[in-house]
Structure 1
Amino acid sequence: MNRIVAIPALVSLLVLTGCTGAGGNPPGTGGTPTSAVKTPSEAATEDDTVVADEPLPVGLCGQAPAPLSDQRVYQGSKETDCGQARDALTAFGRGEDSVDESGHGTLVDGWSCVFPMDNEIVDYAITLSCEKGGQRFVLRPRSVAVPAGYAVLPWDYEGTATGAAGIYFTTESRKHHCSFTETELGCDNFNFPDDLPPVRYMGQPQQPTAIVLEPQGSPRFEVYGDPTFTQYSDSGEWGADTRVLGYGEVLWVRGIGCTTDPDRGVVCTNGQHGFEISSKRYAIN
């Protein structure tokens, strides 16, 4: 199946709601107020009626038109026009080239659309991805809550090195390298704060080398002998071939959503819990 290339975007900050600060300023200090950024489930009622003075979260266009009203429309870039996305969705089924089938695609009003494979729908909660010029939008089930931000395509972040398995990303500063495995999300320590809580390793308290978050539960710090969540390239370098997750872009995989921020570093949440960690500070919940 042909893949759509993800489009980098610099966008509004994602605030990790509910995190308790540690080792630095608490989330929201000096930036966007925590209460100003809401998940889709917080911003909309069951019928997606939104109060006029309470805008939708960044990246969310709202409910898809019928007969796709059980889905929500998300921007894949700041340039994506929500009205044009809705028009394209309304046009589905009009042409003979429309094939609503896993692994296939179609052209609708100039949009090149892809229906992900069944396993990708399960893992990434994307039921449709459409691109036209510098615009992209995706559909996700209404039952899935994702952080505010612009949706990237997880399959664009699949490991490229020989033997690499998982979804890998790094920050624009390349100080942090992370990956999604089948069971968790982890980020290796290439420039973590010095005041992280120590972790016992081989009988001794050690500076953590990684932070780990599972689809449920609070994050935890770990110690590993070698980088565990960083892609080792065929050229022999750690993270050299890893794709950058741009500031304000959201990568959602198996119940965990991550974004990056110039001040917060990596910000990840599983809905109830999460963390943000940079080279200067961290917060966990």
Structure 2
Amino acid sequence: MHFGMAGWLKIKDADTYYYRTDKPADKEWPPKYWKFLLETTEPKTEAAFVDFRRLSRIRLVDCPADEIRSYSPLKENGPDPVADKDILTLSWLDEKLKSKKVPIKALLLDQANISGIGNWMGDEILYNARIHPEQYSNTLRDDQIKDLHTSIHYVCKTAFDLLADSEKFPEHWLFKHRWGKGKKNQPSVLPNGDKITFLTVGGRTSAVVPAVQKKTGPVTEDADGDAAPGAKRKRGVKHESDSEHELKQETSKAPKVKKEVDEKPTNEATGRRRSTRVRK
């Protein structure tokens, strides 16, 4: 199951943090926007796959359950920081980073490299490791790679152990302070006053704290106007939010409307073309 931006698996008569609601209509079964219902026998219950944006996906894999990661599409994924801690070692990460020349944030989000790291988690990992998201992966120093390796396991394990209940996340995490973007009278800053800026890396909005996430090598774009010596900078890049990015993707897939132009002939007396009517 791929939940996309807004999908979820709602279990009947069970309270799940993400889907928690006080609206009576949202407590009905099957829930609103359900796409798929699954019934189990032991224990007997029902689960509903919900998604109001229709960006999520379900794939049925015919294989033994304990071997599912050996079948497509999971076999194409990289190791999971929680389930494959013995694989995602410091030496493995060092080799992976040096074998590619891509922004480190984009590398973390690519499931073919590492499984299970989403957008906010990638930002949290890089903030904790004090690494700028635009810096090329093959330019990180050995000490930065070590910090990154530690941060990956720390952030992923903490979120997993807390069952993704964000109210229990550590107060010093970037996650607790990054949601002020675009809101009036709610500046995006940390409690110590450090500013949080936003830019697009790998097609996703990234939250960055320039005061601690310095550029120590070549980067793809310049977020705060303080590029490191020799860093490349692309100008005129429009930064967009996750929702804007997803909406753009949805719009691009929509069928194009054919426009038919119905023009009246030119007025012979004046030589001017008469009014034009466009029908969609």
Q: Flag the structure with higher helix content.
A: 2
Bigger radius of gyration among the two:
2
TM-score, normalised to structure 1, is: 0.27
Q: Flag the structure with higher strand content.
A: 1
TM-score, normalised to structure 2, is: 0.27
Q: Which has the higher contact order (CA 8 A, sep 6+)?
A: 1
